[in-house]
Amino acid sequence: MMKRLALAIGTVVVACSAMAQKSASDGIAEYRAMLQDGNPAELFEAKGEDLWRQKRGPKNASLEQCDLGKGPGVVKGAFVELPRYFADTNKVQDLESRLLTCMETLQGFNAADIAKTPYGKGEQNNVTALATWIAAESRGMKFNLPNSHVAEKTMYEVGKRLFFMRGGSHDFACATCHGEDGKRIRLQDLPNLTKNPGDGAGFAAWPAYRVSNGQMWSMQLRLNDCYRQQRFPYPLFGSDATIALGTYMGVNAKGAESIAPAIKR
Ligand code: HEC
């Protein structure tokens, strides 16, 4: 009896110290894994796939001929190679800005108007759903931005400079919060984005569903919100600044596996 009791107490003690050793970030990782089973991003994925095939807009056309970088209509694998250079627009574009181009050229929407639409309204919501589905089609694939065209190399350099550019009321740069390993805000790990943060982190996790506000965010919205946290002016949806930052982070993430669409706090 005594022996069994001692054994039982021993087990409890071992279990407790194991729990104490579990860090807050392990806890949050577990919480995310539990939520991943019922990730509401799936609803946006389904909506995005539907929108891709639907005939819409002034030209009553679908997006099925949209070239996301791997040829018209090729969706699989496109996400992990963006941002990249597109000859038709003579620009480096990320997923969201490329979608705006296709919505304008194929469907007749006004891209500038959509970019200006406040977040969470009208066609902006459709862009987010489309981005969620397109990202999901590359789930498990590794980032491999081309970074070979001179425009892509320029955008990478611009993105790097922007990442380290300090300013605003708090003299913050992206690097202030994302420039070292092991930093945290409000218990959230802040990935070091000056190098490859690893599978499913940083650039490889967005679009993501945010439990804290019940919203689906594409990378464009993530970056615009980080600029807000940095106390900088709103850079605008699809701005060259956000695309340059995306190029910098995307190239740095080479070889990291995409888990997008992820689920976040
Ligand atoms: C004041 C601190 C702060 C600054 C400055 C900041 N961010 Fe963030 N960033 C955050 C926080 C907080 C999160 C959310 C972490 C979470 O919820 O998991 C985040 C998340 C991110 C993520 C997603 C990370 C992931 O693994 O999900 C990216 C990418 C990112 N930021 C990029 C940037 C870029 C680029 C800049 C500069 C324009 C920037 N951030 C500036 C605080 C900051």
Q: Give the tens place of pLDDT for each residue, 148-159.
A: 999 999 999 999
Residue with the bigger pLDDT between 200 and 36: it is 200
Backbone angles phi, psi at 72, to 5 degrees: -55, 130
Whether pLDDT at 185 is above 80: no
CB 255 within 8 A of CB 83: no
Query: What is the pLDDT of the chain when averaged over all its residues?
Result: 88
Backbone angles phi, psi at 236, to 5 degrees: 85, 140
Residue identifier of the C-alpha nearest atom 13 of ligand 1: 190
**What is the Cα–Cα distance from 81 to 102, expressed in whole angstroms?**
17
Lowest mean pLDDT among 82-86, 123-127, 153-157: 123-127
**What is the Cα–Cα distance from 172 to 195, expressed in whole angstroms?**
19
**For range 124-135, the mean pLDDT:** 96
Residue with the bigger pLDDT between 14 and 215: it is 215
Q: Sorting pLDDT into bands at 50, 70 and 90, what band is 16?
A: very low
Q: Which amino acid, residue 1?
A: M
b/e per residue, 148-186, with b = 16+ CB within 10 A? eeeebeebbebbbebbeeeeeeeebbbbbbbbeeeeeee
Q: What is the pLDDT of residue 195?
A: 93
**What is the Cα–Cα distance from 94 to 98, expressed in whole angstroms?**
6
**What is the Cα–Cα distance from 38 to 264, expressed in whole angstroms?**
13
Of the candidates 108, 102, 122, 127, the residue with the CA atom closest to the CA atom of residue 220: 127
Omega before 72 within 30 of 0, i.e. cis: no
Give residue-wise pLDDT tens across range 48-63.
999 999 999 999 999 9
**What is the Cα–Cα distance from 182 to 187, expressed in whole angstroms?**
11
Whether pLDDT at 180 is above 90: no
User: Which residues have any ligand 1 atom within 6 Å of their CB?
Assistant: 172, 174, 176-178, 185, 188, 190-191, 193, 201-203, 205, 222-223, 226-227, 229-230, 245, 249, 264-265
Residue identifier of the C-alpha nearest atom 9 of ligand 1: 226
